[in-house]
Every structure is written in structure tokens, then in C-alpha cells.
Structure 1
């Protein structure tokens, strides 16, 4: 019992030392000042500097206390006090680094490690009262910390010399010599406390050795990755025509060190040159530059990859499952955050259709007292076959609805107003892969803007279920955003399943109110499509189940589009299913016939690829070729790989309007294949191996049944038809919008990618349906004069913006006559008794 009280007595004796107690108190106060911005971040950098001066004041006072007390002299037991002073100095250095950055923000592991070794240094004041295993650990950490302080001393290099000469400026520059002081006093701590113990010496040098070993092993792995990446990258013009960064992304296996090699220069500070151990900063603005000692050492010793800045940015976007930022930024968006997301969805189960409104609040957190105008850009990922059917922007607290116009007019008006006149507009454009980009300007410093986007989308039909997934987006950070979601159903859903974030408020409603969560979904039993009609301007729109029409396949060769999603047994099964047809794969920039003897080796090579870009333009006989694929959603788009030889040859090939048979064994199509499918490049089908075998055995494959009267929405397993005639509308106007969008995509075909003339009839169809397409955009301008100046006019014969509280149906001319007749009849019946009297 007495032995257990010894550390308590020692602590009391330490605290009874006024100089030591003062140091502990000052250190606690300094830590509180340091962590204030972490707990309640300030908008202005000047607050960081003010808080630093509080840290610096405590450090200076304590230094004077040590100086005048004489405790810094040899033999006065001042080593624990000096360690406290150095720790105070260290807190001040990190506080100053927020305003005058010498080190970028450290990665989490290094920040935690610095805290641990600092605490270890302070604990040496009591080390002889700890059990032996703990003391050995303390000496091990002391050896490791010696390596850390040596690294920091080298990193800060010449700045320390400059700091010595500029010390007269309130001693601020002396923070640069702090790592050197820690290095020297770490050695002194070791010499002071090791005594004659050989075990402590072994533990100390073990800490040094293990730290150096970790750095050496990490550097070797780094070098292997750099050499491998550069070897793949410099083959970019070999044969396949793809850019080098695509080959790197495709063939390099992802791993922690590989990720750091690829993001060095962008997400991590690296040496400025081979001869200078000074940090170089990133020019890829979307990354927060971080300081990792292992990355810095490895990059200095083993070098960095040769990837260009442009290619590195494209590769990193793709690695993060983001697409290249191909939007022209007229203004900065660095201080914008998303604060609120409201989602209101109405679902028609018996039409396999949903309409969703996303109301988004974006705030400019630049609160430095000056007027700061920034531009918010959001990209929404729409389901296959979905279309934007409304846009609103709140101006002076009032909702202003969007007007549909051609893409060129909308872009000209927005660019002119935002680039030069700096007034209120918002615009939404279609992008490849059924992305839509929404731009909002201006978002003033310290203020919020609100906009609304309406999306008409088919539900996904999956194994007898209808699935609705949240429509996610990229844009200003949603890390602190709140979300309110409400989902309603036109008819009571059967067998409803939904994500745990929701609560069921009634039989026909779901709701959620809390932190933003983009990955929610719901499913319900498909009860079949009910015959419903939407009529407008002499056209009737009806949804029906998609019944595939089969045609002769005449397959002469089968091609497997193999990537990491495939399993070896699938390849073996396919080979056994296809004894008559040759089976080919694309490997090593050429086609190879797959056989039982080379199957394993070729599969291992191709299955190592994260995704694939099958070269349809190299098929010798595309009309009789069957390509079997399994897709990876996270891969580049065609627009991401720009004007590469691969894309040039692909566009030339598409001009001939080939129809390759493509069978998808599973998964959502990659952006590359999805774009080609939107261009109507394929005779398409999907299913499992059993469904494929049925097609092969019967020598049949689905044919394209789309024409000017019907479109296929395969994700929803339905067809929408448009026929001349009239019937009372029992369906919402979303049927016309879905038909129009998919008919326009079908009509454009390869022109989606290749460009060229587009029928004016398609432009007119987009206008009447009031939808965003490759040909049309929605725009909100501030005044009617702005619309007049750019010749943007709203017409009365289109559907207008979609809305939740009505179906948008427009009465036919003869319906207006019926309505007018009914009104006159009511008036006549109401006032009929008075008519004879008046006549008399």
C-alpha cells in the first residue's frame, strides 16, 4: 500500500514546487487556447493569430520565471521544468503554424504520435516510479522520438538559421529552432535517466532502429510503386490509344502506399527537388495538402511519379469515383458548403415512375467582412432514363421558376451575366452519362442561396421488385448538412422495405429528418403496370411492360469483356457453353482466342484490371459479334479521356451506326458502356448465365424496337408509347417527359458523341415536354429584361415546370370547350328562374 502511494507523493512534491506548478498550469491554459478553434472554428484568420499570442505570452512568462529563479542552472533539478517549457513552446509553434504555415496540416497518425512522444517526455519526471515494462516502453518511445525530432530539424533546415538571426522580433522566429532543442534535450533525457541499465539502452536504440526500419521498408515499397506506375504511364501511346493515366488507373492495384504515390504532390507535401528537403505544394486545388513524414522521406529518396499535373488530376478524380471537373468556373467556390437538403418524392407504383424535388441550400462561409461572390456548381447523378423537368431559384425570398431554352442560349446568357454583370442567374445543363450540372450565382459571403431541381425518373425493376434509390450529387461539402426527406405513394405500396433512416408516418408516407445521408433506398413489390394514359396536343402516352422482340443472332464470334468483377468459373462455364463459336478476349492491345490451355493465364491478367474499355471499333464483324460484359460503375467517362486516339477511332466507327450484341451478366453499366448504349450502339440484353444460354441455344437476341412511336426504358422494364388520338388523362404528365427524353436520345444516336446536325423536331420535342436534354437547358434570370435581351421566351403550349402538387396536365382544345360548356350550363341552371321575369 505504501509503495502504491509513492507516485502520489511524488506528484504532490512536484506540484508543491511553485515553478513546476506554474509550468503545468500554463501548459493546461495553453492547450485550452490551442483547442478553442477546433471546438468552435472561427471564420477569420486573425482570431488564430490572437490566440497564438496568448500561447506565446504564457511561454515567455514561464521562460522569465525559469530564468530569474535560477532553475536552468546545472544541478538545480531544472530538466523537468525545461521539458515543460519546451512543451509550452511546442504548443505555441503549432498555434503559430495556423497563421504562418511552415508545416502543412499533419496526417492523423503523425499528429497523434507527436502528442504521445510529447507526453512521454513529460512523464520522464516520474519514470523511476513506473513498473519496469512501462519504463522500457518509455525509453523505446524516447529513441523513436529522437528520429522524429531529427527529421523535423532537417525539414525546417535553413529556416532555423534565419530564425536565430531574427529572434529580436518578439522571439517569434525562435520557434524554428524548437525541433533542434527537442533533439538535444531528448539525448539529455536519455543520458540523465538511463543510469547503468543495459536494458534501457537496448530499448532506446531499439526505438531508433525500428523507426529507421519502418522508413526504409516504406521507401522501398514506394520505389517499387513509382517504377511500376511510370512504366505503365509511359506506354500511353503504345497501341490501345488510351491516355496513360487511364492505363495506370486500370492496371495498378489500389493500396495505401500506391494511393499515396498517386496523390503525392496533390494530397501530400513532397520535397521541392532531389537536392532540397523542402516541401513543394500541390497545384490541384481540390485536395487539402497534408504532411506525412514517411511520404516526404520516401519521395526525397526514391522520387515521385512522372504523371503530369493534368493527368494526375484526372486519375485522382476517377479514383475517388468522381468525374473530371469539366465545368468552367467563372467564380471561386472554395468557401461554399451545403447546409440543407430537402427531398420530396412522389411515387406512382403502377407506372414505375417517380418525381423528386431536391431543394438545396448552399452557404458562403467567407465571413471576413468583405463582400465575397462565389459560384455554386452541383452535379446530379440521374438514374438511367431519368430527366430534369423543373428548376427554381429563390431571388429576394421569392421562388422564380426556370424557362426552357436551347443549350446555347442558356449558356450564353449565364456566362454573360455571371462573367460580367454579376447578377442572379441559375442554369442546368445535361452532361454525358446522364449527369446534370446546376450552377447558381451569386452566393454572397455569410449568406445562403436556395434552389430546387425536379427530376422525373423511372423506378428500377429488379427481380420482381421496384427499387428507388436516392439521387446523389457532387458539389459543396455536405459534411455538416441537415436533411429532410418525405416520400409519398400514389397507391399503397405492397411489401415495402426501406432504409433504417426512415420512419413510416402513414400507410402512404415515409419521412426522415436528421443528418444528410445520400445512400438510402426503398423497394416495393411490383404489382404490374396499370393501363393509364396522359393526353396532350392530340398525342396519347401510355406505359406498357417491355416484351423483348427476338431476332436472329447469327453469332460468329464471342468476345469477353473481362475485368475484376469476373470469376474464373464464369469463364469456364462460358467456354463449355460455346463449343462451336470462337471465344476472344482483348489483352495486350490485341485480340486473343481463349482456350482451355491459356484460359487461366489470360484470366489472371485481365481480372487484375479494375475496369475495362472494350474496343468495339476493332471488331472485325460487329454485326455478328456478341460481347459479354460485367460492369464496374466506378470508371472514367468517354469525355474524361478526351481526344485520345481511342475516342477518335470510336467516334469514326460509330458514324456507321453499328448494332453490336451486348449481354450484361450483372451490375450497373460502366459510364463508358452506358454512354454507348444511350447512343443506341447495341442490341442489348441482361441477365444471368442461364438466360444467356437460352439465347445462344435458340440463336436469337433482342432487337431494337424503338421508333418514333415507342421508346424502351430497360431499367424499369417498360415501354412508353406515343400515338395520335385522345383519351381522358389518368396518368401524370411525367409519361410525356420520359418519352420525350428517351426519344430524343434515340433520335440523336451517335451524334451524342460525334456532334453534327440535329433535327429541329427534337429541339421542339424537348421544349414541349419542358425537359433538360443535350439540346436544351433550363435557366432562371433575374428580370424579364434579361430574358428579352437574350431572346429567351416562355411559351404557352409546353408542360412548364413539373410540380409535386399537380400532374401538369394541359387540357386539349376540345376539353376547354367542354369545360366552357359545363360552366355555361351551371350558370344557366342557377339563374334560369330569373330569366323569364327579366324577359317579361
Structure 2
């Protein structure tokens, strides 16, 4: 082993003593370091090295021109420097690509493949007297030679331009590099392969492996495109024209690696026919997709052998939103969000076990890691547990925390667009989105000025058996994975908790420090005594009570099985075995009876259906729908312009439809249908569902005008007139949850009224909650609020806070506080005078 290593070191030492090797090593090392640094700042967000790369380009040009002249003049003496020449040519190509993105953004494997090609050349381009076995370098060379061949073919259309541009400091020469290297290297390889059969096998094996891999990948992508094309063709014969065409494809598309690549064609992954189309990268539709465009040679070649999806960019983006949870990427962005990183996250949770509620406060620091003259806009998406509501927003402006002001959705959005899009100054905006999502925007952020914002969310604890569960928030935003994160849990009443993440008990707080943001859960013993929790606000008091359920007689006119691929054959059989003649499914938009004879055939028809969208407006009144939800579907927003949604909104509510979900999940479609009261919804197990059907019963949560049900926590909040006997002993989150429930209940009415005349806008302002009709906004100055017609919070709860339990003192308590404070003040002054 030592002898072998010594021999290798001697060979390297002898090689470095050859003419020109030392200076070539220095130039190659220097250029490589500059290229890696520049690519790192572009991909990993550190610093802008563009100006230094210009220096690298100049050095490489001088070096390349000089070395080329020497090799042409004295080939025998300088042939061993050919690998250095090829290496520096490609470094120059990649450096130039940073300024003139002919290749666009390349995946990192392309750089490694090119490097492997260049390094293997050092073993191949040796003088003839240095004979030794080069089978392994030739195998690596065969693997990586494919990328050189791709570059050469790819750049054929710009060869005439490159010849013309050689006059411009010689930069156009780099457009000819792959073709020149292809010719030189092919001649060299042929010479080696003709002398040794093993060399031919080594090089051929490497080259063949890439071709086989590309073929397998292309076949997989092509099969998936054929499948989508087939669904598209079959859908053209459908008599149900209420749903858009792309929704039918979305329903039958199981998310996987291949179909995501197909849907991103021309949106993220640049196809070959779009490479030289001027402006082709950003003109793909009315919807924007905030993700960096990538030129992946493997994918670009495979696209050539795949069916076109015959879907517009907007339709494909809608499918990405519903099937791949890409809704944040499609948010309207007024300024670029590239080069932003989340530096730190503070996750502060306060659990009110007696009230079965929690308050989560998230503080984030964002920075731009590229020194650019342009300001950046950060967008974050918070996926909230069911029933949760956003209750606070703050932005630090010039080192001072400015709290959010609640106003109508329209005013907040208009103010944000005016100040960000036109005036380019400080705002932050928090908006409600369908499907329990909240989006927060922060502007401006630049390299010299990182920003800090804070937002808070009130969440019901989910009751499961004899314990309550808190689920952490799912957050998407700029580069969260490397953020320094500290999580803290506090329990009011010192309830014992268990967590799925390691927390250490320190001074009555549970603390965890980590990197990134993990999903975790906390479990607290179920509190039975909820009646002692109430919150007084103005002349009303809001009390927590156990939720009231009632079993009502219900004999459905029909039973509709809302089938999809998540149903098992046994689950379907259990409903068919009820031996009822009114069990149906909707197959291709038509109601079809399901029985023992056709059960298996129908089950096959639904085995690829990822989610369904029942035509609720076609279902017989007083019917029961049994569904089994997955976690994704199209939502009302994606269906906004369809006849389907118009009919849902106008023809469904009066049908008195009941829905039982036998899954613990709920998708965006059923979530909205439930919240907006289009159906009566109940979630339970399949066993209890069958029992209810057999007994002709349905379970309803009792609803009253002054009561809001918080179903996940199994509580209700009731509004009553305040009396002296009732004390405010609970957090202000009780009132916030009540107000949120009321706004959601009345959302259909709200849509038919002008916001100016709607009482629920005032309710949202009073409780300081973000809803479908209200948003929180932070502006730089008080004058900005006046200029945009936004009234600051007056006589409202204002922003929630982790340090405030929310109990507002009674009038006589305020008097005692004032008297006590006055006594302490005079006592302090007297003591100071005595001293």
C-alpha cells in the first residue's frame, strides 16, 4: 500500500515538473475557486462574486489563447497541457453563463459531470512514453462524454453568432468550445480505442450506461405522458361539462416524480424548443410560478419523446396547486423573492388546557444573502390546524416593533400594492386563504437590512380519546431548512405534556433548539372543567361549554358513496351489504346504482381517482353522502370560473344534504363546503357510520344564534349579556374564536353584501382576526394609514400576545389597580426624599 502511494506521488511530482504544468495548475485552481464561489452565492445565497468572475474570464482568455498557440506551434512539447486547456475552456463557459445565461440555470450534477470529464482527460492525454492502464479513466470519460456531446449539439444554433462575437473580447469563442472539444477528444479517443480492446469496452460501457439510464427515464416519462393524454382524450367524451378539463386530469393524477416534471414543462424545466425563444421563459400564462427556471439536459431530451399534455400553463399550474401543494409558489409577487433566506425562527406556544385552546407566536428573521441593488419581497404560507385563526402581526421598522392594523381585505390589499408596487417602502400584509392557510408578505428586504416579523395564531386543541393534541404549524417560505430555531412551550395551569419532539423542562418552560422547522405534536390530558372559562368583552361575556350533539332521525332518500382510490374493497362491500336499494355512486358524472353484481367493476373504475368532486346540485334532496377524504383536492379558488362552482353555490344549500367522512383527513373542497354550510358534516369511523345508517339517524352539532361550535376541541362558545355573577377568567382567545366562527358561518351572506354595510367586518376588527373579509397590515408611518383610508385599532382587542393571558380587568378592578399604583408612586417618592 505504501509503495503504491509512493509511486503515485512520484508520478505526480514528475508530472508537475513538466513544462507549463505549475502555472496551469495555478490558473485552473484559481479559476475553479472563483467559479464555485460565484455558483455558491447564486445557489446557496452568500455573496455576489460576479465582478471577480470577470477577472477570471480575462485570465482564462489570456491563458487559453497563449496555451493554444503553444500547442499548435510545438505539439510534442505541450500536448500534456491539453487537459488544462479543455478544463479552463469549460470553466470559462460556465463563468460566461453567469452573465449571458445561454445554458440558463444548470443542475449541480452537470458541473460534476463536466469536472469528471476534464479530470479523466489528465490520464488520457499523457505522452506516449508514460504507458499505464487507463481503463478506469476511460470508463469515467465515457460516462461524462455524453454531457459534452449534449453541449455541442445544443449550441449548434448559435455557432454563427459565436463566430461574430469572437471579435468582442473573444467571448464568442466559448460558444464554440463544446464543438471544438468534441472534435479533438473524438480523435484522441479513437486513437486509444484502436490500440486496446479493453479500452473500447471501458469507454463504451460508461457511454452506454448513460444512454440506458436516459432511455429508462424517457420511457417512464413517456408512459406517464401517454397516461395523461389518455385521460384527456376520454374526458373529451364526457357529458359532464361543468368541470374544467384540467380538473378531470387532476382527479386522475396520482402525484409522482414523473408527472410533476411533465406539468412543469416550460414553467420550471425549459424544453429544448424554448431555449432560444426570446421572452419564452416568462410568458407562459396569466398565473405566475415563483420558482427558478432550470435547464436539465436529461429532462430536456426526454421531453422530445413525450406527448404534449395539451394543457395551457395556467391549467398545469392549477394541477400543481391541487395535487402537489404548490399554492405558495403561485402567489402574486410584486418583487423577486430570490436570494432570501430565513435566518432564525422563534416558535412560542402557550397552551390554555382548561379552555382547550393554544396561542402560537412565530417570530422570523429574513435576510437577503446577495448584495443587490434591488429590494426583495418575502412570502410565507402558514398551514393551520382546522378551526385556527390568525390574531396578530408585527413588523420591526427601524428597530421598533409596529403592530398590525386590521382592515377590510380590499383596503389592505390596495394599500400593500400601492406602497410596495409604487412607493417601494415598508409594509407587511397577512391574508386569509382557503383551506386553513394564511399568507404573510414582508417588504423590503435587502443584503444590508434583514427584516424581522412576528405573527400569532389561536388554535383549538384537538380532542382525541382522553387527551388533547396540539399540532405545530406547517410553514413554507424562503429557505427555512437551515434556520436557527428555538421552540418554547408554556402551559397555563401547569398541565403535564408529552411531545413527539425532545423538549427540555427549564424554569417552567419546555425548550427545544434545532435547525429548520420540524413537524411535532404535544399531548395534554383532557380537561373536563371547561365551564369555568369565560371572557368578558364590552357588555357581553363569552363562555366555553362542552359541545352539544344531538342524534336526529334521518332516513336518507339516497346514499351516495363518494368513491376514490383510498377506498378499500371491504369498505365498499360493507355499504353494499346493507342490502339497501338506494345506494349509488357518481360514475362519469352520472348516478349509477351499486350492488353486489357490479361492485368490483365499479371499484376498478375508481382505482385511479385521487379525489372526487361530486355534483352536489344533482343529488336528490335529503340524501346522505359517505366520503373518505385524502389530504388534497382542488379548492373553490381553482374552480372559481367553472359552471360547477356556480351551481354548487346556487343549488346546493337548499337540498339538505348530509355528509359523513369516514377518514380523519379533510381535503380543501370538503373543508370549504363544511365551513360555508353547504352541507351538514360529521366525521366518524366507518363502524359508527354504518350504525347510524342502520338506525336511520344522523348526528348534528346543535347550533344557536349566539353560539359557535369549535368541533376539533369538542367545545362551543356562547355569547351572553354580562352579569355581575359571571367573571372573566379565561384568555381573550375565547372571544377571537367566537368571532372567527361567526364570520365563517355567515360567509355566504357576506358574499352577497357590500363590505361597507356588513356587520361582520366590524366583528372581525373588534376581535382583530384575519378572515375571508379582513386582513392585517403593518405600514411604515401613521400617515400611511390615513392616506390609504385605514383606521387604526380603537377600542378593539388589538393584536394577541404571548405575554397576555387576555383576562380584561372588571371596572372595580381597574379602580383598585389605579389606587394601588398611586399609593406605590407616592410611597416611592417619599422613600426617595428620605434617602
Q: Deviations over 1:624-655 (max 9, x none)?
A: x221222222333211222112111111124x
Q: Distance in 2 between matches of 1:22 and 1:354?
A: 66
Q: Deviations over 1:722-747 (max 9, x none)?
A: 22233121111111111121122223
Q: Distance in 1 between matches of 2:572 and 2:484?
A: 47
Over 3 Å counting, the alpha-carbon distance change for 1:537 and 1:253 in structure 2 is closer
Q: Which residue of 1 aligns with 2:253?
A: 252
Q: Which residue of 1 aligns with 2:830?
A: none
- Residue pair 1:676, 1:682 contacting (<8 A) in 2 also: yes
Deviation of 1:157 after TM superposition, in Å, equals 0.4
Alignment of 1:179-218 (within 5 A): 179-218=178-217
Q: Which residue of 1 aligns with 2:228?
A: 229
Among residues 321, 330, 334, which one is paired with 2:325 in the alignment?
321
Over 3 Å counting, the alpha-carbon distance change for 1:480 and 1:765 in structure 2 is same
Over 3 Å counting, the alpha-carbon distance change for 1:582 and 1:303 in structure 2 is closer
- Residue pair 1:233, 1:248 contacting (<8 A) in 2 also: yes
Over 3 Å counting, the alpha-carbon distance change for 1:165 and 1:681 in structure 2 is closer
Q: Which residue of 2 aligns with 1:465?
A: 467
Q: Which residue of 2 aligns with 1:836?
A: none
- Residue pair 1:33, 1:54 contacting (<8 A) in 2 also: no
Of residues 769-778 and 409-418 in structure 1, the stretch that sits farther from structure 2 once superposed is 409-418
Over 3 Å counting, the alpha-carbon distance change for 1:295 and 1:420 in structure 2 is closer
Over 3 Å counting, the alpha-carbon distance change for 1:141 and 1:279 in structure 2 is farther
Q: Which residue of 1 aligns with 2:829?
A: none
1:405 matched to 2:415: no
Q: Distance in 2 between matches of 1:39 and 1:323?
A: 28
Q: Which residue of 1 aligns with 2:722?
A: 725
Q: Which residue of 2 aligns with 1:834?
A: none
Q: Distance in 1 between matches of 2:273 and 2:631?
A: 37
Deviation of 1:551 after TM superposition, in Å, equals 0.5
Q: Deviations over 1:5-47 (max 9, x none)?
A: 7655544443332334544444333323322335564225333
Gaps of 5+ in 1: 829-840
Q: Distance in 1 between matches of 2:363 and 2:476?
A: 15
Q: Deviations over 1:587-646 (max 9, x none)?
A: 22222222223222322332312222232222122x2x2212222223332112221121
Deviation of 1:94 after TM superposition, in Å, equals 1.7
Among residues 666, 671, 674, which one is paired with 2:668 in the alignment?
671
Q: Distance in 2 between matches of 1:496 and 1:510?
A: 10
Q: Distance in 1 between matches of 2:209 and 2:805?
A: 70
SS of residue matched to 2:624 = strand
Q: Distance in 2 between matches of 1:227 and 1:117?
A: 35
**Please, what TM-score do these two structures have when normalized by structure 2?**
0.88
- Residue pair 1:483, 1:513 contacting (<8 A) in 2 also: yes
Deviation of 1:679 after TM superposition, in Å, equals 0.5
1:646 matched to 2:651: no
Q: Distance in 2 between matches of 1:145 and 1:768?
A: 65
Q: Which residue of 1 aligns with 2:173?
A: 174
SS of residue matched to 1:549 = strand
Q: Distance in 2 between matches of 1:139 and 1:393?
A: 59
Deviation of 1:678 after TM superposition, in Å, equals 0.6
Q: Which residue of 1 aligns with 2:365?
A: 361
- Residue pair 2:229, 2:307 contacting (<8 A) in 1 also: no
Alignment of 1:90-169 (within 5 A): 90-125=90-125, 135-136=134-135, 138-169=137-168
Q: Distance in 1 between matches of 2:414 and 2:12?
A: 74
- Residue pair 1:6, 1:129 contacting (<8 A) in 2 also: no
Alignment of 1:526-565 (within 5 A): 526-530=526-530, 531-565=532-566
1:783 matched to 2:781: yes
Alignment of 1:605-754 (within 5 A): 605-621=605-621, 623=622, 625-654=623-652, 656-726=653-723, 727-748=726-747, 750-751=748-749
Deviation of 1:484 after TM superposition, in Å, equals 2.6
SS of residue matched to 2:720 = strand
Over 3 Å counting, the alpha-carbon distance change for 1:759 and 1:613 in structure 2 is farther
- Residue pair 1:154, 1:277 contacting (<8 A) in 2 also: no
1:45 matched to 2:50: yes
- Residue pair 2:660, 2:682 contacting (<8 A) in 1 also: yes
Of residues 483-492 and 325-334 in structure 1, the stretch that sits farther from structure 2 once superposed is 325-334
Q: Distance in 1 between matches of 2:499 and 2:360?
A: 19
Deviation of 1:687 after TM superposition, in Å, equals 2.1
- Residue pair 1:155, 1:277 contacting (<8 A) in 2 also: no
- Residue pair 1:33, 1:55 contacting (<8 A) in 2 also: no
Q: Which residue of 2 aligns with 1:33?
A: 34
**Please, what TM-score do these two structures have when normalized by structure 1?**
0.87
Deviation of 1:818 after TM superposition, in Å, equals 7.4
- Residue pair 2:71, 2:79 contacting (<8 A) in 1 also: no
Q: Distance in 2 between matches of 1:128 and 1:562?
A: 72
Q: Distance in 1 between matches of 2:646 and 2:586?
A: 19
Over 3 Å counting, the alpha-carbon distance change for 1:210 and 1:99 in structure 2 is same
Q: Deviations over 1:207-253 (max 9, x none)?
A: 55554454445444444433432443464785152223322222134
Deviation of 1:346 after TM superposition, in Å, equals 0.9
Alignment of 1:346-425 (within 5 A): 346-365=350-369, 367-368=371-372, 370=373, 372-425=374-427
SS of residue matched to 1:607 = coil
Q: Distance in 1 between matches of 2:55 and 2:270?
A: 27
- Residue pair 2:34, 2:52 contacting (<8 A) in 1 also: no
Q: Distance in 1 between matches of 2:477 and 2:405?
A: 23
Q: Distance in 2 between matches of 1:222 and 1:673?
A: 32
Of residues 112-121 and 781-790 in structure 1, the stretch that sits farther from structure 2 once superposed is 781-790
Deviation of 1:772 after TM superposition, in Å, equals 2.2
Q: Distance in 2 between matches of 1:360 and 1:2?
A: 54
Over 3 Å counting, the alpha-carbon distance change for 1:411 and 1:814 in structure 2 is farther
Q: Distance in 2 between matches of 1:194 and 1:741?
A: 76
Deviation of 1:543 after TM superposition, in Å, equals 1.6
Q: Distance in 1 between matches of 2:719 and 2:704?
A: 10
Q: Which residue of 1 aligns with 2:242?
A: 241
- Residue pair 2:31, 2:56 contacting (<8 A) in 1 also: no
Runs of 4+ in structure 1 off by over 6 angstroms are: 126-132, 276-279, 752-759, 817-828
RMSD: 3.6
Aligned residues: 814
Q: Deviations over 1:411-463 (max 9, x none)?
A: 44444444444443333332322323333344356312222222111112223
Q: Distance in 1 between matches of 2:142 and 2:665?
A: 53
Of residues 535-544 and 750-759 in structure 1, the stretch that sits farther from structure 2 once superposed is 750-759
Q: Distance in 2 between matches of 1:603 and 1:497?
A: 40
Q: Distance in 1 between matches of 2:36 and 2:333?
A: 35
Of residues 297-306 and 720-729 in structure 1, the stretch that sits farther from structure 2 once superposed is 297-306
Q: Which residue of 2 aligns with 1:493?
A: 495
- Residue pair 1:406, 1:776 contacting (<8 A) in 2 also: yes
